[in-house]
C-alpha cells in the first residue's frame, strides 16, 4: 500500500502563512514489537494501550518557501524552546521518506516546535508521541490545503501510516484506548503498514486502566531503540521470539475481550522481561535496566503475593517501570506506590497515567 500522491502541490499564490498544532500521546506495548524489516515494517504484530498524560505537543508554522537551499524540505526545529540540532538528522530522514506522500512540503518553510510532558529518550516511547504528533500536523496541513482527508477514518489511517515512517510504534499512538499494528489473521483489517483501533475490543475494566510510570532514570538510553531493532537481524532467538509474540497476542486478545486482568498481567510481565532478555542476549549484549528497576519489580511481586491485589509491571525499551492496575483498585494500590516505590525513583518523580482518549488537535 502507498499513500503517495504527486498531485498534492500548491501554487505560490495559494500559500498563506499558518500553523497546525497537535497533542499526541505515548503508548505502552503490551505485546512488544522488537525487530523490523523494510521501511519500518514489523516482524510481529504488537498491541498497545494508548496513554493520556505522557504526550508530545507539536506546533508547525508554515509559509511559502523563500530561501534557496539544497535541502528538499526546509525546516527549523526547537524542543522545549531550545534549538536541538542533534534531532535534525532524524527529522530530515523522515521528511525524505514522506516527501512522495506530501510533495507540497518542498514548497514550504516549516518552523517546528515540540515539547514533552515526560523525559525524552528515557524509554517511555517518546518517539511514538513525537512522530505521531508531527504526522498528525502534516495530515492536517494536507486537509487544510486540499480537503482530501475529510473522513476521520481516512485521516487517522494516513496519519498512522506516516507516523510509522518516523517511528514504528508511533503508528499506534493515533488511536484512543488501544491499537494493533501488524498483519495477523486474528483481527480483520490488521496491517503492517499502519495500526488499527482496538478500543471496541476492550472489556470495561480496561477502558480506564491505570499505567503509572516510575522515573527510575530520566537520562538518555545508552543504546537507542533503533539500534536494538537492528540487533534482531542476526539475533540467535529472533525467529522463536516472533512466533512467541504471535502466540502471546492470541492470549492477550482473549484477556482484553474477557476482562481477565490476571491473564493480562501475566502476559505483560512476561513480554517486558522477554524484551530485555533479547537485549541482554544480543551481539553485543547490553543492559538498560537499573538496580532500582529490579528493586521495584521485586516489591511489586511481593506486594501482589501478599495482598492478592492485581498490580502488574511492564517495561518499554528503558529502565522505567509501568505499573498497571484497574481503576477500582486505585485507593488500595496508590498508597503502596507512593510510600514503597517512589523512594526508588529519581528525585521521587513519577507520572500518574491511564488508558486515554488519543490525540487532540490544539
Q: Which residues share a beta bridge with 29?
A: 48
pLDDT digits (tens, 9 = 90+) for 119-159: 765 556 688 999 999 999 999 999 999 999 999 999 999 99
Angle between helices 152-166 and 126-146 (to 10 degrees): 130
This prediction's pTM: 0.94
**What does the pLDDT read at residue 314?**
98
User: What residues contact residue 294 under an 8 Å CB cut-off, 6+ apart?
Assistant: none
Average pLDDT, the chain: 94
| Fold for the domain defined by 204-351 | Alpha-Beta Plaits (3.30.70)
User: Residue 67: pLDDT above 90?
Assistant: no
What is the rounded average pLDDT of the residues 169-194?
Answer: 97
What proportion of the chain, given as a percentage, has pLDDT over 90?
A: 88
What dihedral do alpha carbons 9, 15, 18, 23 form, nearest 10°? Answer: 0
pLDDT digits (tens, 9 = 90+) for 241-256: 999 999 999 999 999 9
**What does the pLDDT read at residue 121?**
55
- Please report, for the chain, the start and end positions of each structural domain, with discontinuous segments joined by +: 12-200, 204-351
**What does the pLDDT read at residue 80?**
87
Give the H/E segment covering residue 31: strand 18-31
Task: Kindly report each contact of residues 239-247 with a partner whose C-beta sits within 8 Å and lies 24 or more positions away, as own/partner.
Answer: 241/34, 241/35, 241/44, 241/274, 241/278, 242/35, 242/43, 242/44, 244/274, 245/31, 245/32, 245/33, 245/44, 245/45, 245/46, 245/271, 246/44, 246/45, 246/184
| CATH architecture, range 12-200 | 2-Layer Sandwich (3.30)
Q: What is the DSSP string of 292-321?
A: HHHHHHHHHHHHHHHH----EEEE-SSS-E
- Taking the C-alpha atoms of residue 92 and residue 167, their distance in angstroms, rounded to an integer, is 13
Amino acid at each position: 500500500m502507498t499513500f503517495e500522491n504527486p498531485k498534492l502541490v500548491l501554487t505560490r499564490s495559494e500559500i498563506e502563512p499558518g500553523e497546525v498544532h497537535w497533542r499526541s500521546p505515548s503508548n505502552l506495548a503490551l505485546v512488544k514489537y522488537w525487530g523490523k524489516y523494510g521501511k519500518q515494517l514489523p516482524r510481529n504484530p504488537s498491541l498497545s494501550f494508548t496513554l493520556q498524560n505522557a504526550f508530545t505537543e507539536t506546533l508547525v508554522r508554515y509559509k511559502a518557501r523563500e530561501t534557496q537551499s539544497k535541502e528538499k524540505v526546509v525546516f527549523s526545529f526547537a524542543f522545549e524552546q531550545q534549538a536541538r540540532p542533534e534531532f535534525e538528522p532524524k527529522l530530515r530522514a523522515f521528511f525524505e521518506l514522506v516527501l512522495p506522500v506530501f510533495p507540497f512540503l518542498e514548497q514550504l518553510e516549516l518552523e517546528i516546535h515540540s515539547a514533552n510532558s515526560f523525559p525524552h529518550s528515557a524509554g517511555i516511547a517518546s518517539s511514538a508521541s513525537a512522530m505521531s504528533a508531527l504526522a498528525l500536523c502534516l495530515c492536517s496541513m494536507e486537509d487544510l490545503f486540499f480537503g482530501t482527508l475529510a473522513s476521520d477514518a481516512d485521516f487517522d489511517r494516513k496519519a498512522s501510516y506516516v507516523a510509522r515512517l518516523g517511528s514504528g510504534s508511533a503508528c499506534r499512538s493515533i488511536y484512543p484506548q488501544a491499537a494493533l499494528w501488524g498483519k495477523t489473521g486474528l483481527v480483520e483489517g490488521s496491517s503492517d503498514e499502519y495500526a488499527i483501533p482496538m478500543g471496541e475490543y476492550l472489556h470495561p475494566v480496561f477502558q480506564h486502566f491505570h499505567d503509572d510510570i516510575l522515573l527510575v532514570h530520566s537520562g538518555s538510553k545508552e543504546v537507542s531503540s533503533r539500534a536494538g531493532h537492528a540487533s534482531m537481524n542476526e539475533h540467535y532467538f529472533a525467529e522463536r521470539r516472533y512466533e512467541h509474540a504471535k502466540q502471546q497476542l492470541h492470549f492477550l486478545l482473549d484477556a482484553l475481550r474477557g476482562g481477565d486482568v490476571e491473564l493480562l498481567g501475566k502476559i505483560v510481565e512476561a513480554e517486558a522481561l522477554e524484551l530485555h532478555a533479547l537485549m541482554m542476549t544480543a551481539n553485543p549484549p547490553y543492559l538498560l535496566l537499573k538496580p532500582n528497576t529490579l528493586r521495584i519489580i521485586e516489591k511489586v511481586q511481593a506486594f501482589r503475593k501478599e495482598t492478592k491485589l492485581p498490580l502488574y509491571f511492564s517495561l518499554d525499551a528503558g529502565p522505567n517501570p509501568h505499573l498497571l492496575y484497574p481503576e477500582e483498585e486505585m485507593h488500595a494500590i496508590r498508597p503502596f506506590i507512593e510510600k514503597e516505590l517512589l523512594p526508588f525513583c529519581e528525585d521521587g518523580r513519577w507520572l500518574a497515567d491511564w488508558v486515554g482518549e488519543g490525540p487532540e488537535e490544539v
